[in-house]
Structure 1
Amino acid sequence: MIHPHTVTMRQHICDFMDSQDETLLNEHARAGQWSMAQVLEHLYLMETAITTRMGTVLQQNEPTSPPLSQHSDVPSFRLTPDRSRRIEAPTDLVPADKHMTRQELHTRLSRSRSHLNQLVQSSDPQQLQQKTMNHPVFGSMTLEEWVEFIGLHEQRHLEQMKEIQSALKAAHG
């Protein structure tokens, strides 16, 4: 089962996207910063990459390292929504600066979520709880934690899109 927060955050992301003018979705509030469409494309790229890596880990028979969360009451990955901590996206997860329609963005996000759902539903829940993958900032996390992380990551970027929206409103008077 997909973590409830991850499901809820995707709905909030889609509702926010639907409330935006398509032209504004593709507009940059500041030079060198992502547009809202680029943020949405990043979410698609990230979920796709995580799902692909999870599938690879699930197919491997060798043991994985223990999750860091087993040594903590509050796993560090739960700090993901904190926008005061800046984290650079890996190069392969940086979206291209190109115009995207709302429909294209919906299609991509729907596709990546469908793949995640299929993987989780077809996997042994015990494997999701025991197998791990390394995160470049948070270290070793179970696959189950990665599914929760996707929602926390989307929460972080929903706030980013709200900041972009505010900056665009201010710029347009």
Structure 2
Amino acid sequence: MNKLVNENLDEARNILVKEIASLSYVQFNNKPEMNKWSIAQVCHHLILVEEATIKAILWGLKKSESTQKDRKEVKQVLLDRTKKIKAPKIVEPDEKPFEVQQIIKLLNASRERLLTFLNTIEDNSILANKSMEHPALGELPLDQWVEQIYLHEERHIEQIKEIKLHIANLG
């Protein structure tokens, strides 16, 4: 992958870990409202999205025809938190509680799998020439599937900050 994408992946992940590292078990697993996710669930969702992205890129690479589509305004869509995006079932988080360190290990493992997978792609330019259907963004070039990981993470970092404020106001 290009250097900027790697830097953006690293930066978003570092900010995420910094946001959650000092949380207590209760803060991490407390739901702001009955139908809302806890910070732990938001993080579990991010792990599931990263894993699903690897699968989507793999499927897209296996397509024989080149299916390049127009590039989407991924950043604009994902960072606009006024528009709710329903998570597909496959990336809905578990209801069970998590330990902060457990989630950090899972985040590190999923990122390691992603980077290892991306490093197996000999010619990264193929990612711009093939596409896969994204549940929230429509047909998306594979390189933008990688880009959406850190943008999606940035979206949820803002959500985590809001949940932390809500929790602080309760106590």
The TM-score, its normalising length taken from structure 1, stands at 0.90
Runs of 4+ in 1 over 6 A off after TM superposition: none
Q: In structure 1, list runs of 5 or more residues that go unmatched.
A: 70-74
Q: Is it true that 1:55 corresponds to 2:52 in the alignment?
A: no
How far apart, CA to CA, are the structure 1 residues paired with 2:47 and 2:63? 28
Question: In structure 2, which of residues 120, 123, 132 is the aligned counterpart of residue 122 of structure 1?
Answer: 120
Name the counterpart of 1:106: 104
Percent identity for Structure 1 against Structure 2: 30
Root-mean-square deviation (Å): 1.4
Name the counterpart of 1:154: 153
Aligned pair count reads 166
Check conservation: 1:55, 1:119, Cα contact below 8 A.
no
Question: In structure 2, which of residues 23, 28, 31 is the aligned counterpart of residue 28 of structure 1?
Answer: 31
Check conservation: 1:68, 1:139, Cα contact below 8 A.
no
> Deviation digits for residues 6-55 of structure 1, max 9, x if unmatched?
22101111111113223200111211110000000000001001112212
How far apart, CA to CA, are the structure 2 residues paired with 1:139 and 1:64? 17
Question: In structure 2, which of residues 72, 75, 78 is the aligned counterpart of residue 78 of structure 1?
Answer: 75
Q: In structure 2, list runs of 5 or more residues that go unmatched.
A: none
Q: Is it true that 1:168 corresponds to 2:167 in the alignment?
A: yes
Aligned residue identity for 1:36: I
The TM-score, its normalising length taken from structure 2, stands at 0.91
How far apart, CA to CA, are the structure 2 residues paired with 1:66 and 1:140? 9
Aligned residue identity for 2:56: R
